[in-house]
Each structure stands twice: as C-alpha cells, then as structure tokens.
C-alpha cells in the first residue's frame, strides 16, 4: 500500500490503531474468561523501526509494539495471529513469570 499524503497516512494509522486496540481488548476479554484472571491490559503503539518484525511484547513498559507498514499490508494476519500472539506473551508472563518466550507454557 502506498501513501499519497502524510494526512492519509495519519488517518490510516489512526484507524489501524483502533483496530489493533479493539483486537487486544477482545483477546484479553477471552483470556480473562478462560483463565478466570483479570490480566492487565497493555498499551498499543506503532513502531516503524521494527523492520521485518511484525510485533513485540515489551513487558517493562506493558506495551505491544506493532509494525504499521506490515500491519497495513497484512491486516487480517495481524488481527488474527500477530496481535493474539503478542497478547499470549503477556498472559504467559503473568501466569508463569520466568517462562521462555515461545516455550511450552506459552504454547
């Protein structure tokens, strides 16, 4: 997707962020019901410096960083896989603390 103006990019980033935040909230509601626990909701930020990385869970600042370029190019994958994947890192950390990032507890 090519951006024609900075205003168009900003508008689309705003819409993408709303979609991302809604998906995080939906995922957290499901996890709260499944685990019977009230997980702390992380913030969502876009970081265009992630390069080829789609997303990153940052525990120290309770934030999910997302690559806005990749998200705009792969919206369905981000909403159905990337965002739940990053949320799962927070759930695992909350439940198991010292678990490996993609270890058995995370799966």
Tell me which residues are annotated as active site: 86
Q: Is the dihedral of CA 44, 75, 81, 38 positive or negative?
A: positive
The whole-angstrom separation of Cα 88 and Cα 99 is 12
Contacts of 48 by beta carbon, 8 Å cutoff, 6+ apart? 67, 68, 69
């Amino acid at each position: 997707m090519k951006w024609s103006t900075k205003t168009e990019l900003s508008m689309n980033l705003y819409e993408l962020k709303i979609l991302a935040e809604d998906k995080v909230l939906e995922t957290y509601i499901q996890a709260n019901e499944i685990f019977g626990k009230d997980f702390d909701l992380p913030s969502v930020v876009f970081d265009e410096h992630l390069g080829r990385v789609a997303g990153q869970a940052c525990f120290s600042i309770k934030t999910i960083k997302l690559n806005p370029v990749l998200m705009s190019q792969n919206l369905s994958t981000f909403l159905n896989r990337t965002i739940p994947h990053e949320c799962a890192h927070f759930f695992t950390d909350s439940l198991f603390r010292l678990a490996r990032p993609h270890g058995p507890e995370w799966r």
